[in-house]
């Protein structure tokens, strides 16, 4: 899309005579477009950049001047904030907890959703469309509504961090995130699966493949872009989630994820937000790495060559 | 290899639409059978029922002696080539062709041999490691064929396999398909809307219209003895001239001429069917003579088509390309009486 648009622009500029009104208009609209994009990007980035600089500045400098002054001499940069935050709070352990929560809570719902979406997209069973509609309808219910009933269910059945054996203590958040993530995941994947050409399924069926074989050998390999984007969404949402974690495992430092620990940091350190900036940056690494490493799977045209000539 | 039998097969889609209506058709072992008709005539549905992709509403489908109505597609031992080819886009050509064999648990060494053989027949040896998106349309079509060949199925089903190819490639592939059929000796069932494909490839042709089978016959017979006006008009290009006539005993009177039959057909209103090549630019002594007002002349080198009016009816005649005729002329045409067709105007059925 963007390639085509970019290719169009010099083309239109070239067809109009140099310095003619059309030529100027073409040039101007290009400039305006670029300015708008760059402006938006910068505006979006400023707070992040501010936090980045602040996290490397000593406490005294932060209190006496704005972060942008860090760019002018005298340069005062330090790693103190990072070392302090890593040693004084149990950030390292929260980091581990975040992984222990995010990875299973991403894999479980995506895996379940893939099976469910395949059934919704390509298998015939009674009330299929109504059930699908109900699942999509659940998306409209705010998740806060479910906290009390779900939590009391968990407590009544011993699914709480204190009641579960070590290692399984994350179970409440896994279950919660699975429940909250499923409707959207099913919706997204079912729509993607439905768009796969039906001849592929028919051909595989004639070739002797059963339902599961079709799912694993045809559907999943062709759905890598959809699965990758879903994994990114789900992972980022869980990694950055504070509310669900706070409700289901909050207050238990041994299972609390990064977000909960960060939130506590503000309380216990008061205005000492120089530590908070370092901690926040520390927590941003993982989403960045996940996004950058998976984004190459957003390849379009993966279906090219399957049908038609 | 096996025969295929449709025994009073009907297919209804969700309630009212009848796609195939009481189809009875016997395809012999090793035969190249063509199902032909315009889009929506039920030919593809008939094929898909045989493949197991659609349920049969009524009647029985047999492969060999086995009724397969309830047999799932994967156990019918058939192979199908789709119009869109339906290649697995994430697999190499080799894996596409090997997929069906792998699913059946064929040993790896045997798979390799079979795929190599099929690739050899189709000229795909050098493309085995490519992905479908790196192939041209013709190559993809051959991979789709190869996928069917390696399976060595009882019946080959082909659903308009040539319609996505350009004209030159289509002719070439048509010939290759016939060679392939001779070489394999298997039963082929081939669906197309193209009468040229039907006439050139089929051992027999089944013409369908609105879900109803019209006629099954070898190409020559279908052309010479169509059972009704629909088949007569569908097969042949340019299509047969239909001229309404009123009959009085042995005499059939059209708006511009009349012909005499040897015996009375026994109807009052009929339609005379004359193929363009059955007009003769040099009328024989004693035969009927027809005056045609020429409107358009098309010279194709090997043929010359003359479009014009005979009385009030539009007529197309094929004449010798050397014959000089220009628009505006009035041309004298003879008629090959032995190749005349007469249809009942009401039932549209052929009379002999």
Q: What is the pLDDT of residue A303?
A: 44
Query: Does residue A205 belong to the interface with chain B, where contact is any CB pair within 8 Å?
Result: yes
pLDDT at A84: 79
- Tokens, residue B53: 């992709």
Are both B224 and B243 inside the same structural domain?
A: no
ipTM of this model? 0.83
pLDDT given at position A216: 93
Q: Do B88 and A197 touch (CB under 8 A)?
A: no
Chain B residues with CB-CB distance to A204 below 8 A = 88, 99
Least confident of A30-34, B110-114, B276-280: A30-34
DSSP H stretches of helix in A127-270 = 128-138, 147-156, 171-194, 198-206, 211-213, 220-222, 224-239, 243-249, 258-269
Neighbouring CB atoms inside 10 A of A215's CB total 19
Nearest Cα of chain B lies from the Cα of A116 at a distance, in angstroms, of 23
Name the residue of chain B whose CA is nearest to A210's CA. B74
A195 interface with B at CB cutoff 8 Å: no
**pTM for the whole thing?**
0.78
CA separation, residue A237 to residues A105, A259, B175, B192 (Å): 10, 12, 59, 52
Q: Which domain holds residue B52?
A: 4-230
Binary contact (B51, A202; C-beta < 8 A): yes
Check CB contact of A221 with chain B, cutoff 8 Å.
yes
CATH number, domain A85-297: 1.10.3720.10
Integer Cα distance of A42 and A281 in angstroms? 18
Name the residue of chain B whose CA is nearest to A221's CA.
B90
Say if the Cβ atoms of A304 and B80 lie within 8 Å.
no
Is the distance from CB of A292 to CB of A273 less than 8 angstroms?
no
- The verdict on a CB contact (< 8 Å) between A302 and B84 is no
A:B CB pairs within 8 Å: 93
Q: Is A204 on the interface with B (CB under 8 A)?
A: yes
Best of A123, A207, A219, A299 to substitute, by most chain B Cβ atoms within 10 angstroms, is A207
Q: Is A127 exposed, middle or buried (0-12, 13-18, 19+ CB in 10 A)?
A: exposed
Tokens representing residue B331 in the block:
């041309």
- Once rounded to an integer, what is the mean pLDDT over residues B91-108? 93
What tens digit of pLDDT does each residue of B146-170 get?
999 999 899 999 999 998 888 888 8
Domain total for chain B?
A: 2
Q: Does A308 touch chain B (CB under 8 A)?
A: yes
Query: Of the candidates B72, B90, B104, which has its C-beta nearest A221's C-beta?
Result: B90
Q: What is the pLDDT of residues B284-315, one digit of tens each?
A: 777 788 899 999 999 988 889 999 999 889 99
Q: Which residue on chain A is closest to B101 by alpha carbon?
A: A207
Contact call for residues B126 and B63 (beta carbons, < 8 A): no
| Same domain? B267 vs B211 | no
User: Which residues on chain B are in Cβ contact (under 8 Å) with A211?
Assistant: none
Tokens standing for residue B80: 């199908």
Q: Which residue of B has its CA nearest to A197?
A: B86
Cβ pair A207:B141 closer than 8 A: no
Cross-chain CB nearest to A206 (options B51, B88, B134): B51
Residues of B in contact with A305 (CB under 8 A): 87, 89, 131-135, 140
Distance, CA of A105 to CA of A234 (rounded, Å)? 8
Write down which residue in B188, B207, B230 finishes a domain: B230
Chain A residues with CB under 8 Å of B133 CB are 301, 304-306
Low-confidence ranges of chain A (pLDDT < 70): 1-16, 88-89, 267-272, 297-309
The enclosing domain of B209 has a CATH number of 3.40.50.300
Nearest chain A residue to B50 by CA: give it: A206
Q: Is residue A167 less than 8 Å (CB to CB) from chain B?
A: no
Rounded Cα gap, residues B82 and B143, in angstroms: 11
Domain boundaries, chain A: 2-78, 85-297
| B128 vs A84, residue with greater confidence | B128
A 36-75 → B contacts, CB under 8 A: none
Cβ neighbour number for residue A64 with a 10 Å cutoff: 9
Clarify whether residues B43 and B100 are in a common domain: yes
Q: Out of B183, B208, B230, pick the residue that ends a domain.
A: B230
pLDDT, tens digit, 9 for 90 and up, residues B40-83: 899 999 999 999 999 999 999 999 999 999 999 989 999 999 99
For chain B, say whether A290 makes contact (Cβ under 8 Å): no
Beta-ladder partners of B335: B279
Q: What is the CATH number of the domain that holds B288?
A: 2.40.50.140
Partner-chain contact A199 B78, CB within 8 Å = no
Cβ within 8 Å, pair A209-B99 = yes
Q: B72 pairs with which residues across the strands?
A: none
The alpha carbon of residue B90 is apart from the nearest alpha carbon of chain A, in Å, by 7
Q: What is the pLDDT of residues B210-260, one digit of tens each?
A: 999 999 999 999 999 999 999 999 998 889 999 999 998 888 888 888 888
Give the pLDDT confidence of B7-40 residue by residue, as tens digits. Answer: 999 999 887 789 999 999 999 999 999 999 998 8
Question: Is B86 in Cβ contact with A203 (below 8 Å)?
Answer: yes
Whether residue B280 is predicted with pLDDT greater than 50 in this model: the reply is yes
State pLDDT tens for residues B177-219. Answer: 999 999 989 999 999 999 999 999 999 999 999 999 999 999 9
Of all residues in chain B, the percent with pLDDT exceeding 90 is: 66
CB contact under 8 A, B82 and A218: no
What SS3 state is found at B21?
strand
Using an 8 Å CB-CB cutoff, list residues of chain B that contact chain A: 51-53, 72-74, 76, 78-80, 82, 84-90, 99-100, 103-104, 131-138, 140-141, 147, 151, 164-165
């Amino acid at each position: 899309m963007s390639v085509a648009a970019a290719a169009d622009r010099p083309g239109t500029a070239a067809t109009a005579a140099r310095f003619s009104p059309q030529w100027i208009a073409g040039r101007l609209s290009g400039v305006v477009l670029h300015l708008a994009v760059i402006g938006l990007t910068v505006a979006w980035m400023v707070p992040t950049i501010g936090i980045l600089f602040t996290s490397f500045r000593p406490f005294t400098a932060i209190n006496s001047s704005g972060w942008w002054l860090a760019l002018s001499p005298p340069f005062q940069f330090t790693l103190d904030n990072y070392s302090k935050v890593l040693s004084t709070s149990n950030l390292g352990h929260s980091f581990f907890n975040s992984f222990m929560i995010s990875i299973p809570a991403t894999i479980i719902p995506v895996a379940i959703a893939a099976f469910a979406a395949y059934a919704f997209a390509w298998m015939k069973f009674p009330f299929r469309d109504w059930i699908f509609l109900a699942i999509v309808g659940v998306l409209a219910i705010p998740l806060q509504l479910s906290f009390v009933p779900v939590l009391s269910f968990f407590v009544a059945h011993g699914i709480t961090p204190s009641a579960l054996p070590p290692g399984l203590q994350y179970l409440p958040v896994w279950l919660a995130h699975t429940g909250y993530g499923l409707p959207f995941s099913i919706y997204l994947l079912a729509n993607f699966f439905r768009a796969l050409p039906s001849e592929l399924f028919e051909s595989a069926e004639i070739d002797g493949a059963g339902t599961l074989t079709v799912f694993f050998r045809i559907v999943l390999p062709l759905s890598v872009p959809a699965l990758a984007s879903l994994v990114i969404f789900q992972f980022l949402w869980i990694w950055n989630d504070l509310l669900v974690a706070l409700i289901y495992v909050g207050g238990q430092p041994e299972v609390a994820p990064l977000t909960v620990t960060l939130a506590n940091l503000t309380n216990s350190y008061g205005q000492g937000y120089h530590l908070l900036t370092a901690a926040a940056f520390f927590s941003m690494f993982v989403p960045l790495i996940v996004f950058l490493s998976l984004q190459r799977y957003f390849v379009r045209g993966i279906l090219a060559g399957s049908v038609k000539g | 290899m096996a025969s295929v039998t449709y025994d009073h097969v009907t297919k209804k889609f969700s309630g009212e639409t009848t796609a195939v209506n009481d189809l009875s058709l016997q395809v012999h072992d090793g035969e190249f059978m063509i199902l032909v008709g315009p889009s929506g005539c039920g030919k593809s549905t008939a094929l898909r029922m045989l493949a197991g992709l659609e349920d049969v509403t009524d009647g029985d489908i047999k492969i060999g002696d086995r009724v397969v109505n309830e047999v799932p597609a994967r156990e019918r031992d058939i192979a199908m080539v789709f119009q869109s080819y339906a290649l697995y886009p994430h697999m190499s050509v080799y894996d596409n062709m090997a997929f069906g064999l792998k699913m059946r648990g064929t040993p790896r060494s045997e798979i390799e041999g079979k795929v190599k053989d099929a690739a050899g027949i189709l000229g795909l040896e050098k493309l085995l490691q490519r992905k479908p998106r790196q192939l041209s349309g013709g190559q993809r079509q051959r991979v789709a064929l190869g996928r069917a060949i390696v399976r060595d199925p009882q019946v080959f089903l082909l659903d308009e396999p040539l319609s996505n190819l350009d004209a030159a490639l289509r002719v070439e592939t048509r010939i290759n398909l016939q060679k392939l059929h001779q070489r394999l000796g298997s039963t082929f069932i081939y669906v197309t809307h193209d009468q040229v494909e039907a006439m050139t490839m089929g051992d027999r042709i089944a013409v369908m219209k609105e879900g109803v089978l019209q006629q099954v016959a070898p190409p020559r017979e279908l052309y010479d003895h169509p059972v009704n006006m629909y088949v007569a008009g569908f097969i042949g290009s340019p299509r047969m001239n239909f001229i309404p006539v009123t009959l009085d005993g042995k005499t059939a009177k059209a708006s511009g001429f009349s012909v005499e039959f040897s015996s009375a057909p026994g109807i009052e209103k009929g339609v005379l069917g004359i193929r363009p090549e059955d007009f003769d630019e040099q009328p024989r002594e004693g035969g009927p003579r027809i005056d045609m007002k020429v409107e358009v002349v098309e010279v194709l080198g090997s043929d010359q088509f003359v479009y014009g009016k005979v009385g009030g009816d539009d007529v197309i005649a094929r004449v010798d390309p050397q014959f000089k005729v220009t628009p505006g002329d009035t041309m004298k045409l003879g008629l090959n009486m032995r190749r005349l067709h007469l249809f009942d105007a009401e039932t549209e059925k052929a009379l002999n």
